[in-house]
Structure 1
Amino acid sequence: MLAALLFLIPATFFCYGVVRDRRRLSNAVWLGVSLVMLLLLLAEAGQDNPAVSLPLLLAFVLAVLGLMLLPLALLANGLVMLRREGRSLGNLLSLLAGLALLGEMVYFAWGISQPSDWIRGSAIGLFLVSAYIAFLFVSLLLYSVIYGRTGRRHGFDGIVVLGAGLVGSSVPPLLANRLDRALRLYRRDREAGRSPVIVVSGGRGADEEVSEAFAMREYLLAAGVPAEDVVLEDQATTTEENLRYSKALLAERGLNGRVVAVTNNYHVFRTAVLSRKQGLRLQVIGAPTAWYFVPSAFLREFVALLVRNPVVHGLACATLMAGGLALTQVN
């Protein structure tokens, strides 16, 4: 009974948050808590029911194996990123995360067996901090998938395409995927009798020959979109500016109805969170991304979401670390 209640409370908060606003960051946390409580509920039910306990045990074994193999998978992905995308901090995230996770596992296995209370306490504390970060990561990943696969898919007055880096003056595959997704939305609404406007948003970087917006407009014009249906926004340098400037341009044209922003799938939920922060009413839809690019890209998005609340997460990690040290001192 208690396990069922512990599941229903966070599940209720999750459902309420989704109904109120799908872009709330807390929805991801309530989803994670609900899933943890659901596992506890199933574990309790499995004590008296083999039909439940066997699948639960299998899921647990698979989860443990997945956790053990995760550092190796991240290391392999990091090497692929370096080979295909070059050296940069963003491209190194998978490699660094894999090394950090592997190092934490080795330290925990070594530290827990040491006679020193401080070493054992630090090993336990680091394990708790890692579990906390893993919980947030999995929760955000799952909710990002849910957000990206739900919501309206047609009937828009404005379609905002967020810019990405160019190769000289050419549109690279990452940005082309966004434009192709916007084209599908545009053509679907045109066939239904609507007249959506596409806003291409992105300024000019230091290593780019033209603005991202200009290159995107040329791409759309070459694909057959009439020039009057493409609006140029070539001043934005961040996602926040992409959203704010584009919405202002649509408002100038009297288009204050349904608006959708198009970006890559790994970037969808953070874009939605940023739009909510700015008080903008819009939906975000994702375009496909090369498989090898997704882990590093989502890790970058995860870090960007974490640093939005540094005090909260810093205090949580410090408390968990102190708790691990306290456990060995009490014993």
Structure 2
Amino acid sequence: MILLAVGVVLLGVFVLRFRGDRRRFGNGVLLLLGLLCVGGALVSSGAEGSGSQVLVLLVLALSPLLVLALAGLLMLNGVVMLRREGIRPANLLSLGLGLALLVPYVLLVAAFAARWVVLGTVLVAVVLVASYLGFLLVAFLLYSLVYGWTTRAEGAIAIVVHGSGLLGDRVPPLLASRLDRALGLWRADSARGAAPLLVVSGGKGSDERIAEAVAMGAYLEEHGVPADAVLREDRSTTTRENLLFSKYLLAQRGIDHGVVLVTSNFHVLRTAMLARAVGLDAQVIGAPTARYYLPSALLREYVGVLAERKWFTIAACGVLAALPLAVAVAA
């Protein structure tokens, strides 16, 4: 009963925080913790032992299997990425992570077989850190889905479309998907008699002939959007700059609320978190992405979230890594 009560409280806090501001990564952590506690309590109701004991046993039993399954899926996706996108560092992310996930388990089996106490202790530290990072990854993926499913864009005053790179001076499929999503929102609001302002955001990359905003604006106008309904932000080179420069342009028009940001579905949660960080009152809508591309893209987003909180992440991982080493020394 205690575990169930803790889970209900955590889910209640999640609901309150979600209603206050859904753009917080901590919401996802609370949601996952609450679901784990409630799930452990429900499972323990039909099993021997306390709820906390059952929850621990479930985690210990399922974690290795889930990690092995995840490693296999990541390696499979990595092969697909290399075949379709070519050999580039970004495309090696899922394959490399899949292989890396297998290493601690292989070494742990070897240490157990050879009775290498020191290596075993080090590997326990590695597994603790990996478990923490894995928990955050699951929270990130879960909350990305929840945020994407629950965000609505009707009645926007302004729609900001984030750039994602050009092919010379042409709009590639990934960027076209974002623009098409924004077009759908604009047309729906226009049909209700409240056409929002469209802002296209993206500067000129070193391998691009023109600024992304110029190509994006032309794309929208070719698809029926009046020229005076499109505002071009052509200086930004990062997502944070997309948000800051667009915020400035909107403020010049007297717009400080009712803003919808359109990006790819894998980029939604981190964009929402960045919008909150720069003080832009906006929610984020995702555009479809090729399925084979999603795992690598989501992993890059997750790494980006950790990088933005690098000192906290480093400190937490350091404490977890030190625990088994401290126990071994004390023993």
Whether the TM-score (by the shorter chain) exceeds 0.5 is: yes
Task: Provide closer, same or farther for how the CA distance between residues 161 and 18 of structure 1 changes in structure 2, counting only shifts above 3 A.
Answer: same
Quick one: which amino acid aligns to residue 245 of structure 2?
Y
Cα offset for 1:33?
A: 1.3
- Please tell me whether the aligned partners of residues 157 and 255 of structure 1 are also in contact (alpha carbons under 8 angstroms): yes
Residue number in structure 1 paired with 2:323: 323
Q: Secondary structure at the match of 1:260?
A: strand
Q: How does 1:59-208 map to 2 (within 5 A)?
A: 65-208=65-208
| Inter-partner Cα distance in structure 2 for 1:46 and 1:123 | 34
The answer to whether the 8 A contact 2:111-2:117 is kept is no
Distance of aligned partners of 1:213 and 1:164 in 2 relative to their CA distance in 1, 3 Å threshold: same
Alignment correspondent of 1:226: 226
Q: Is the Cα contact below 8 Å between 2:187 and 2:195 reproduced in 1?
A: no
Q: CA deviation at 1:115?
A: 2.2
**Paired AA for residue 80 in structure 2:** V
Matched letter for residue 299 of structure 1: L
C-alpha spacing 1:144/1:65, structure 2 compared with 1 (3 Å): same
1:23 corresponding residue in structure 2: 23
CA positional deviation for 1:103: 1.3
TM value normalised by structure 1: 0.92
Give the superposition deviation at 1:159: 0.3
Separation in 2 of the partners of 1:308 and 1:59? 28
Pick closer, same or farther for the CA change 1:255–1:301 going to 2, 3 Å: same
Deviations 1:215-273 (A, max 9, x none): 11111111111111111110011111111111221222233331100000000000000
Residue 166 of structure 1 contacts residue 212 of structure 1 at CA under 8 Å; is this kept in 2? yes
- Matched residues, percent identical? 46
* Residues 114, 120 of structure 1: 8 Å contact kept: no
Q: Is the 8 A contact 1:79 1:95 kept in 2?
A: yes
Consecutive aligned runs of 4 or more in structure 1 exceeding 6 Å deviation: 57-63
CA distance 1:130–1:60, change in 2 (3 Å): closer
1:231-310 equivalences under 5 Å are 231-310=231-310
SS in 2 for 1:46: coil
The separation in 1 between residues aligned to 2:200 and 2:4, in whole angstroms, is 49
Contact 2:68 2:101 in 1 (8 A): no
Deviation at 1:107, TM superposition (A): 1.7
Q: CA deviation at 1:309?
A: 1.7
1-structure distance, mates of 2:171, 2:60: 44
Superimposed CA distance per residue, residues 28-85 of structure 1 (whole angstroms, 9 cap, x where no aligned partner): 111121122122212321227xxxxxxxx99998876443222121112112212222
After alignment, is 128-137 or 2-11 more displaced? 2-11
Instruction: Name the TM-score, length of structure 2 as normaliser.
Output: 0.92
For the 8 Å contact 1:112–1:124, the answer to whether it is kept is: no
The SS at the match of 1:219 is helix
**Offset, 1:293:** 0.8
The Cα of 1:8 is off from its aligned counterpart by 2.5
| Larger RCO, structure (CA 8 Å, separation 6 or more) | 1
Q: Which residue of 2 aligns with 1:12?
A: 12
Check whether the contact 1:117–1:328 (CA below 8 A) recurs between aligned residues: no
Alignment check: 8 A CA contact 1:121 1:327 kept: no
Contact 2:152 2:285 in 1 (8 A): no
Question: Are the equivalent residues in 1 in contact too, given 2:80–2:292 (CA < 8 A)?
Answer: yes
For residue 311 of structure 1, what is the aligned residue in structure 2?
311
How large is the Cα RMSD of the aligned pairs? Answer: 2.2
Unaligned runs of 5+ in 2: 49-56
Question: CA shift at 1:296, angstroms?
Answer: 0.6
Instruction: Give the letter for the 1:236 counterpart.
Output: S
Equivalences, count? 324
